[in-house]
Amino acid sequence: MGYFQVFLLLALIPGSTGLDNGLLRTPPMGWMAWERFRCDIDCRKDPTNCISEKLFRDMADRLSEDGWRELGYEYVMIDDCWMSMQRGSDGRLQPDPDRFPGGIANLARYIHDRGLKLGIYADMGSATCMGFPGTTLDKVELDAQTFASWGVDYLKFDGCHSNAIEQSIGYPLMSKALNWTGRPIAYSCSLPAYLGGLPPNVNYSYLGNICNLWRNYDDIEDSWASVKSILDWYSTNQDDLQPAAGPGHWNDPDMLIIGNFGLSLDQAQAQMALWAIMAAPLVMSNDLRTLSADARAILQNRVAIGINQDPRGIQGRRLLQELGHIEVYWRPLSHSANALVFLSLRQDMPYLYRNSLANLNFPAGSFEAYDVFSGKTLSGLTDHTIFTVSINPSGVVMWYVYPVKHSKMSHQDLIE
């Protein structure tokens, strides 16, 4: 029996494809190389920024020393371009010896010693997206064992250079292979992005049983246009996507690009707020060594993080698209609290937006609203109070709203 027939049989065995690692009960948080550093492998010309063990050690140092780890940013994630162009004589993947002279296991120990976790990248095709060795079906178990032996904590499994049949076999097979290693390894699947992202091509109920999270749509680029495109796709298709998310299984709209070059301060707040509403992974791709104070304040906003990490794990939704190019997003939270985001897609001037909580489907009652980015609290709200918020062009106002009857409740509950 050939490899194809063997793996097809394995993929069809009942119970052989379930993911049972108990991980990512809230969306993962951390740092990933790809959007900021791409496939820069010329360490002679660019030793500071090339994909190398030095880069990942630097970022681990920043996460552990600059207050990120304590907020939940715990994963240091290697993306494409870490490998040697050839597998080793034993058939195993191996890092580029010049750029990772200490090997991945030593890098994992360095990261673990700082209270962090290591993520790595592989591709379930003949080659990775950038042309490095792929994980063909006959190599799935071997690569899972290799990652576990190195102390890897998270696998991003891409799908370049593979077809739909190989993907339908390979993704569940890797899920099982990771289980077999006995090491808890979070599993990120790119399968939906290669199948159009939507039912009937994507069965999200099934996917939630084999993956901890998955990429649904296009890669993010360093621009507001890219953020808007991703947001609009997820919102337009929220009836299909929103039910798929929950503790242990998340939609992934891709990395946070806050602190790079393409977003204004208002747009950076918007991405942070909307990723929190969507229960999205908070995985930064930036240079933590040179991050501005403004970008740091947004990414380390404890209330925004608390909303993102709410244990109920319910993904939020777009409630309204107003004629004035204002959109309203909502997410239900623990303890009868809610998060609201008022987004302006205007390009002209700050806009005064008026509404009431009743119009946003809130029940009768009295409420307080904490403005996540200004730090101000609005008291005396009832469901029928007409409130006004001033929203900057391509900016947001984000509220954490809680009922007054919970007299001891405030935004502090999210950060303690």
Catalytic-role residue among 58, 219, 266, 383:
219
From residue 242, alpha-carbon distances to 29, 218, 236, 327 in Å are 20, 18, 11, 17
According to DSSP, the residues that pair with 75 across neighbouring strands are: 30, 117
| Residue 121: strand, helix, or coil | strand
* Rounded-to-integer distance, Cα 256 and Cα 214, Å: 16
Q: What is the largest distance, in Å, between two alpha-carbon atoms of the chain?
A: 72
Determine whether 158 is an active site residue. yes
Hey, is 398 helix, strand or coil? Answer: strand
What is the rounded CA–CA span in Å between residue 304 and residue 400? Answer: 9
Choosing from 80, 123, 158, 254, the catalytic residue is 158
Taking the CA atoms of the chain, what radius of gyration do you get in angstroms? Answer: 22
Q: How far is 133 from 408, CA to CA, in rounded Å?
A: 56
Other beta carbons less than 10 A from residue 385's beta carbon = 14
Place of tokens 């608390």: 306
Coil, strand or helix at 215: strand
58 annotated active-site: no
Of the candidates 278, 283, 321, 282, the residue with the CA atom closest to the CA atom of residue 305: 282
Peptide bond into 200 cis (omega under 30): yes
| Distance (Å, whole) CA 179 – CA 185 | 8
Q: Which phi and psi angles does 118 have, rounded to 5°?
A: -105, 130
Mind telling me the catalytic residues? Answer: 158, 219
